[in-house]
């Protein structure tokens, strides 16, 4: 017997691994940089150079790139900066992994501390969490029906499934030029940069998939004039980054993750040879998934009156989209400077980072809990210490509603800062306001017993003869005509004709006559 089948494309996670490592190293200040008196601000980011799958393990090779803003003159308060790297290579064990499976890696810096050993040496310590996930694209073959429909009784039911249309990764780049306004002096050296994403939205249309929004760019620099005074400038740059995609987004479900790989800001001369143009180059790692929802007619059961049909089944798990929800969490706090810290004259940059620490399934949805780290860089009222920083961590909690949530629900949750602002109330107090966006996709995994193949045997005629030819039956709760017909070696059509039924449903207590048939 030939079975008609249909293929459903889906992505399946085959393994995952997490490892926490501590990077601890000393860093010598390059000869061309001035001595260090005091570290004012540090920042770190992870760069991955190679992610390689092996037998039962993943090798992750990369580096911790750190930047330091520091005071370089004890008397005049001169400010300088430097950039350094600490390489790392880590093995993450993953049972069952083969060297040919595709693996993706990501990482978070949980904590970074940079201290001064002496004027020419720094101590760099960072706690890093590395994650690796192995995924495989699979085609689930599902049986729709048997070829010879007249010879077999077939129970065909409708099933909602989610078909994966696109699973793509790409690096998207955007280059922008920022011209300093005439009120700002020329740039001698960029001391610190802050590039923050704001109001980011994903799109899928007209053969393109990507993100739009804004880039909030803040830069602290020393001017060319004698004295090299500190200057700061803040502006927004439109963000529009995308890649080609075969789907147009109509009646599709999509999820686009854009993770910064690199964000560089350099200065170049304008037409007059003056250092007044800031060149911003960003590279985003785009992870694109596109699905469509379909209702398929699949073969649930089969039998024959002329032979013994034995279906061979295999359990499959089919995805169905439960909900796509977008929530916002608003946060309002007041930041206060310690008494020992220099007072604020002007805020230069307000940087923020969202960390999702916990997502818990509840009866109403998903309870998301995390923290927002807010760090300010500001010009002080003290000429001997012209730059100051302050950092605070604020908790947040938000319930994201998911109707019909169950133990089998699988959740993908992304979060980030949509808005962040810092407003001076006075020289010691700052009002912090933030809007955190939470993008949730909830999938329901439904088990399905798929008929893979069918074997046939001759009927046991002796057993069939011993069955009664006519049966009176009183319906119980949950009875259906398919099960009754199959157990009594007849057909649904025969039962309906014998009992003059107009529909296939039975109510508890209904009385029917069943006539045995032999094919």
Domain-ending residue, one of 248, 264, 299: 299
- In sequence order, what DSSP letters do the residues of 209-273 get, joined into one string? EEEEEEEEEEEEEEESSTT--EEEEEEEEEEEEEEE-S---TT-EEEEEEEEEEEEEEEEE-TTS
CA-nearest of 435, 390, 387 to 415 is 435
Residue 510 lies in a domain: yes
The CB density around residue 362, as the number of other CB atoms within 10 Å, is: 12
| 3-state DSSP helix/strand/coil % of the chain, to nearest 5 | 5, 70, 25
Residue 182 lies in a domain: yes
Q: Where is 461: in which H helix or E strand? A: helix 461-465
C-alpha 215/C-alpha 323 separation (Å) is: 30
Q: At 91, list the tokens.
A: 């093995």
**Domain co-membership, 167 together with 131:** no
Cα 28 to Cα 4, 66, 73, 382: the distances in Å are 69, 13, 18, 29
Per-residue model confidence (pLDDT) at position 306: 86
**Domain co-membership, 190 together with 285:** yes
CATH code: domain of residue 474? 3.10.350.10
**Domain co-membership, 349 together with 436:** yes
- In sequence order, what DSSP letters do the residues of 59-70 get, joined into one string? EEEEEEEEEEEE
**Domain co-membership, 175 together with 243:** yes
Q: At 286, list the tokens.
A: 């785009």
The CB density around residue 40, as the number of other CB atoms within 10 Å, is: 20
Residue 498 lies in a domain: yes
**Domain co-membership, 441 together with 464:** no
**Domain co-membership, 397 together with 507:** no
Identify the residue whose tokens are 């009156």: 305
C-alpha 451/C-alpha 466 separation (Å) is: 30
Per-residue model confidence (pLDDT) at position 464: 84
Domain-ending residue, one of 78, 108, 137: 137
Residue 310 lies in a domain: no
What dihedral do alpha carbons 8, 14, 20, 21 form, nearest 10°? -110
**Domain co-membership, 215 together with 167:** yes
Q: Cβ distance 52 to 58 under 8 Å?
A: yes
In this prediction, the residues of the chain whose per-residue pLDDT falls under 70 are: 1, 74-75, 149, 226-227, 519
C-alpha 60/C-alpha 62 separation (Å) is: 7
Per-residue model confidence (pLDDT) at position 210: 93
Q: At 160, list the tokens.
A: 């909602």
pLDDT digits (tens, 9 = 90+) for 186-203: 999 999 999 999 999 999
**Domain co-membership, 170 together with 284:** yes
Identify the residue whose tokens are 């359990």: 315
Per-residue model confidence (pLDDT) at position 227: 65
**Domain co-membership, 188 together with 289:** yes
Buried b vs exposed e over 91-102: b needs ≥16 C-beta within 10 Å?
ebebeebeeebe
Per-residue model confidence (pLDDT) at position 331: 94
**Domain co-membership, 133 together with 181:** no
Residue 148 lies in a domain: no
- In sequence order, what DSSP letters do the residues of 151-204 get, joined into one string? GSEEEEEEEEEEEEEEEEEEEEEEEEEEEPPTTSPPEEEEEEEEEEEEEEEEEE
Residue 144 lies in a domain: no
Per-residue model confidence (pLDDT) at position 83: 93
Q: Tally the domains of the chain.
A: 4
Domain-ending residue, one of 284, 299, 314: 299
CA-nearest of 515, 453, 457 to 484 is 515
Query: Considering the entire predicted model, what is its pTM?
Result: 0.85
pLDDT digits (tens, 9 = 90+) for 332-359: 999 999 988 889 998 988 999 998 989 9
**Domain co-membership, 241 together with 184:** yes
C-alpha 208/C-alpha 244 separation (Å) is: 5
CA-nearest of 236, 232, 250 to 79 is 232
Residue 225 structural domain: 157-299
Residue 331 lies in a domain: yes
Phi-psi region of 206 (alpha: psi -120 to 50; beta: other; left: phi over 0): left
Q: Cβ distance 519 to 489 under 8 Å?
A: no
Residue 336 lies in a domain: yes
**Domain co-membership, 180 together with 276:** yes
């Amino acid at each position: 017997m030939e079975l008609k089948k249909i293929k459903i494309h889906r992505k399946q996670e085959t393994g995952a691994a997490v490892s926490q490592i501590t990077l601890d190293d000393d860093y010598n200040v390059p000869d061309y940089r001035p001595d260090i008196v005091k570290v004012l601000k540090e920042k770190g980011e992870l760069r991955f150079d190679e992610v390689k799958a092996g037998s039962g393990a993943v090798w992750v090779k990369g580096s911790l790139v750190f930047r330091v803003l520091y005071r370089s003159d004890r008397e005049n308060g001169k400010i300088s900066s430097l950039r350094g790297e600490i390489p790392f290579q880590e093995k993450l064990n993953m049972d069952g992994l083969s060297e040919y499976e595709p693996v993706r890696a990501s990482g978070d810096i949980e904590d970074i501390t940079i201290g001064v050993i002496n004027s020419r040496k720094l101590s760099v310590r960072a706690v890093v969490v590395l994650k690796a996930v192995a995924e495989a694209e699979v085609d689930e073959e599902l049986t729709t029906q048997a070829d010879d429909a007249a010879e077999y009784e077939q129970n065909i039911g409708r099933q909602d499934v989610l078909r994966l249309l696109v699973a793509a990764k790409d690096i998207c780049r955007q280059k922008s030029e920022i011209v300093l306004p005439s009120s700002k002096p020329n740039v001698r050296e960029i001391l610190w940069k802050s590039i923050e994403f704001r109001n980011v939205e994903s799109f899928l249309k007209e053969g393109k998939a990507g993100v739009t929004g804004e880039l909030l760019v803040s830069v602290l620099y020393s001017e060319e004039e004698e004295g090299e005074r500190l200057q700061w400038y803040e502006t927004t740059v439109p963000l529009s980054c995308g890649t080609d995609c075969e789907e147009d987004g109509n009646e599709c479900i999509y999820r686009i993750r854009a993770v910064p790989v690199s964000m560089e800001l350099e200065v170049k001369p304008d037409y007059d040879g003056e250092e007044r143009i800031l060149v911003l180059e960003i590279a985003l790692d785009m992870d694109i998934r596109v699905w469509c929802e379909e209702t398929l007619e699949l073969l649930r059961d089969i039998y024959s009156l002329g032979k013994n049909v034995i279906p061979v089944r295999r359990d499959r798990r089919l995805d169905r989209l439960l909900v796509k929800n977008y929530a916002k969490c608003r946060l309002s706090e007041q930041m206060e400077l310690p008494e020992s810290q220099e007072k604020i004259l002007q805020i230069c940059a307000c940087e923020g980072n969202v960390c999702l620490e916990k997502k818990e399934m509840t009866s109403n949805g998903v309870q998301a809990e995390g923290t927002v780290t807010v760090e300010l860089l500001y010009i002080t009222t003290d000429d001997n210490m012209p730059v100051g920083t302050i950092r605070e961590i604020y908790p947040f909690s938000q319930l994201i509603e998911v109707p019909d949530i169950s133990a089998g629900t699988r959740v993908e949750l992304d979060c980030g800062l949509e808005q962040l602002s810092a407003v001076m109330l006075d020289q010691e107090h700052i009002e912090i306001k933030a809007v955190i966006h939470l993008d949730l996709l909830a999938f329901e995994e439904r088990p399905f017993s798929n008929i893979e193949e069918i074997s046939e045997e001759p009927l046991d005629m002796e057993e069939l003869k011993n069955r009664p030819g006519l049966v009176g039956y009183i319906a119980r709760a949950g009875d259906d005509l398919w099960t009754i017909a199959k157990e009594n070696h007849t057909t649904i059509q025969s039962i309906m004709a014998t009992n003059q039924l107009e529909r296939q449903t039975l109510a508890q207590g209904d009385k029917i006559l069943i006539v045995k048939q032999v094919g």
